[in-house]
Structure 1
Amino acid sequence: MVQSVELLLDDAADAEIRRQWELLAEAGVRSLAAQTAETNRPHITIAVARQIWPRIDHALDELTFRPVPLRLGGVLVFGARHPILVRAVVPTDQLLALHRRIFHTVAQCPGVSANLHPDAWTPHITLARRVPIPQLGTAVHAIARDRDFPATVVGIRRWDGDQRRAWPVAQHGGGQPAPHDRHGR
């Protein structure tokens, strides 16, 4: 399975992404709204490895984190055979600096994903996976009229795909209160 580090959004942005999941579902496109696990939560994946060692988890817990303002941008399609519909995250210097810090913490773990290296990462939030090609137009039309909107990264969590559990990491260093991970992934 996968081990990852993910950025969590403020309540308003979280609700907006969930609304887009529902719009896709209403249009007949299987979106992440279909995943009912408590750990299903809008997020920005910032690091992935086949395994994240306990000492790396400890280093992640020691990181100081402050909220990061950003904008959620347009709709993108990743892949051709099994398209993934995503909402772009407009990169900022602050977001890219946070990504570099976390990437360099996790980089020594086995199976680090090449597309998450600095200068290769495309920050995004997944809306729907394996969208059937004939449904791509419907999917984009269902949410494309939505405009860019502001969001704030309010926390960082670890996802353990083997154990199917998530937990907060990093020390909150001011700004908005640290989120409780009651909504899960």
Structure 2
Amino acid sequence: MPTVELVCDPRLEETVRAAWDRLAAAGLPSLARNTHPTNRPHLTMASVDRFPPGAAERLADLFDAALPLPVHLGRVEVLDGSAPLVWLVRPDPRLTALHEAVDEVLTPAGGRNPWHAPGRWIPHLSLALRFRHHDRRLARVLAGADRPSGEFVAARSYDGDTRTVSPLGAAA
């Protein structure tokens, strides 16, 4: 199942990785424990069973035109009570428009994740999976009270079956 993801500039990536490390050091769930070489902070925009013909090229054109894109992080939150711990991304009109364009390119694809549909999508950078809601306050303290900002500088696709990434556009 390929995804469409945006990756952070090095400074913002380091900020998120430092939050992962603080969570792990406190004994809380953290993506710092995922040592696979493809694991890095990212914003998932979509996932599908497979890309429709020509979609990768169309997506690359979109990203080449749109990136870099400013990003501002908001609150640390637990989605759905006992699920991912995330750093919410404050959407701006350019990010929302890019997400809608990605969705349009992938409209013919099967197996689209409904959580990524426009109007339902909650843009975020994941900090941990299967996080307990009652640890949210501590996680907020550990992640930091700052609301960091940076840029999304590249796009990629992650293939969950092969655990490989492919660039989407020249910036990747």
Tell whether the structures are fold-level matches, with TM greater than 0.5. Answer: yes
Identity of aligned residues (%): 32
Structure 2 counterpart SS, 1:141: helix
39-48 or 107-116, larger mean C-alpha shift: 107-116
Deviation at 1:97, TM superposition (A): 1.1
Deviation at 1:126, TM superposition (A): 0.4
Conserved? CA contact 2:44–2:123, under 8 Å:
yes
Q: Tell me which amino acid in the other structure corresponds to 1:38.
A: P
- Write out aligned runs for 1:1-185 (5 A): 2-63=1-62, 64-65=64-65, 66-80=67-81, 82-143=82-143, 145-171=144-170, 178-179=171-172
Q: Give the aligned CA root-mean-square deviation in angstroms.
A: 1.7
Distance 1:75 1:134, change over 3 A: closer
Structure 1 unaligned residues grouped into runs of 5+:
172-177, 180-185
Q: Tell me which amino acid in the other structure corresponds to 1:13.
A: L
Deviation at 1:54, TM superposition (A): 4.5
Conserved? CA contact 2:51–2:106, under 8 Å:
yes
TM-score by length of 2: 0.91
Structure 2 counterpart SS, 1:120: coil
Q: State the alpha-carbon separation in 2 of the partners of residues 131 and 118 from structure 1.
A: 25
Q: State the alpha-carbon separation in 2 of the partners of residues 90 and 136 from structure 1.
A: 19
TM-score by length of 1: 0.85
When you count strand as a share of all residues, which structure comes out higher?
Answer: 1
Q: State the alpha-carbon separation in 2 of the partners of residues 93 and 116 from structure 1.
A: 17
Structure 2 counterpart SS, 1:40: coil
Per-residue deviation, residues 102-146 of structure 1 (Å, max 9, x unmatched): 111112111111121112211000000012455444323322x42
Q: State the alpha-carbon separation in 1 of the partners of residues 142 and 101 from structure 2.
A: 36
Conserved? CA contact 2:76–2:139, under 8 Å:
no
